Amino acid sequence: MTYQQPMFKNEELKDKVIVVTGGGSGLGEAMTRYFLQLGAKVVITSRKLEKLTATAEKLQKETGGEVLTVACDVREYKAVENMLAETLKRFGKVDVLVNNAAGNFISPTERLSARAFDIIIDIVLKGSKNCTLAFGKHWIKEKQAVSTVLNIVTTYAWTGSAYVVPSATAKAGVLAMTRSLAVEWAKYGIRMNAIAPGPFPTKGAWDRLLPGELKEKFDIKKKVPLKRVGEHQELANLAAYLVSDYSAYVNGEVITIDGGEWLQGAGEFNMLEAVPQELWDMLEMMIRAKKKE
Ligand code: HXC
Ligand code: NAP
């Protein structure tokens, strides 16, 4: 399938230095692999250095690219400043920040402790803020001509969602930050965009959100008009475009990649998808008959 293939064929990200938070697993790893294939140097960061090292070794072997690993809890501003310093020490510059690190609890909100709620807000909203602020200050101080931030949010950043309320609240904040800074920092050559993925199976998100039998019980594919989940490569393709210079005029945008999932839940009459053709024949007759009354 075309969408499972790499979209760019040459070294479209050559000489770019890209930081991917949460780059040691899941979608962060998939984006990192493709950025390396396109010639970028990539820094992957998260809390667990062992995991980062294993991913870096694997990806370097696969792609021949260069990966730096830095342990960094994005909740700590000092740790983020240190991660930026390590990046500059190794590569001399940084061009792109991908705010991908996240945490999530699936739970009725009243069952969450105040601390549990805080943990998610701190990783997702405060973590994205910490990285964006540290990198933005650096780019502005250095008068770097071109730089970009890509935030990974979700479609429930604007619809909201029951049972993942801390995550929904935090992602909404990240989206507001994306749009606000897209305007405020454009004069410094900083572009800000976001991707809102629908369901892309990963161990981190899916084993936590739909553990055990829940996965079988809620067949997520059924919620998607295209009747499939996302492939990691198609998300990586979109991310590569948004961090490349080909998207130089795209700023302040959130691009949904979900097979139409959130709209299926939104349209007033979308549930009529379940009506079979024969029933439509009968319904049409009834509706036309009403007009004659
Ligand atoms: C209610 C819970 C809970 C649960 C833990 N807690 N699990 N409360 N329901 N299932 C409470 C604990 O009692 C504790 O509160 C507090 O939460 C912290 O618990 P810890 O076990 O200490 O958690 P911690 O080790 O800090 O880890 C939390 C985490 C972890 C950081 C969020 O799960 C993690 O590493 N997540 C990263 C990966 C991840 O979540 N990826 C998913 C991203 S998916 P008290 O008050 O007792 O101390 C996503 C979007 C998906 O973002 C969209 C799909 C379409
Ligand atoms: P994942 O593999 O669990 O990725 C989350 C990453 O965040 C992990 O690598 C984790 O690494 C890191 N992280 C967690 N807390 C951190 C902290 N305090 N500081 C630094 N790093 C931290 O899940 P994923 O599915 O790939 O998710 C990636 C992104 O896509 C997230 O923003 C998520 O919200 C978004 N998303 C995913 C889906 C999906 O279907 N998969 C859908 C919509 C949106 P450590 O444990 O080593 O810290």
What tens digit of pLDDT does each residue of 219-236 get? 889 899 999 999 999 999
Instruction: Report strand pairing: 67-71 vs 190-197.
Output: unpaired
pLDDT for 166: 98
Give me ligand 2 centre to Cα 124, in Å. 9
pLDDT for 193: 99
167 CB within 6 A, ligand 1: yes
Q: Give the closest ligand to the alpha carbon of residue 101.
A: 2
pLDDT for 137: 98
The first and second tokens of residue 213, run together, are 């039998």
Give me ligand 2 centre to Cα 273, in Å. 33
Q: Rounded to an integer, what distance in angstroms lies between the CA atom of residue 22 and that of residue 30?
A: 11
pLDDT for 211: 76
Q: Rounded to an integer, what distance in angstroms lies between the CA atom of residue 120 and that of residue 144?
A: 32
Q: Are 234 and 2 in contact (CB under 8 A)?
A: no
Query: What domains sit in the chain, N to C, each tagged with a CATH number?
Result: 2-292 (3.40.50.720)
Count the neighbouring beta carbons within 10 Å of the beta carbon of residue 177: 20
Residue closest to 171 by CA, chosen among 124, 129, 230: 124
Q: Rounded to an integer, what distance in angstroms lies between the CA atom of residue 26 and that of residue 98?
A: 14
* pLDDT tens, position by position, 176-215: 999 999 999 999 999 999 999 999 999 988 877 777 777 7
pTM confidence score: 0.96
Give me ligand 1 centre to Cα 117, in Å. 9
Just list the catalytic residues: 156
Residues of the chain with pLDDT under 50: none
According to DSSP H, which parts of the chain are helical? 26-37, 49-63, 77-91, 114-121, 127-142, 156-159, 165-184, 203-209, 214-217, 232-243, 261-266, 277-292
Around 75, how many Cα atoms within 13 Å sit in the side-chain half-sphere?
Answer: 10
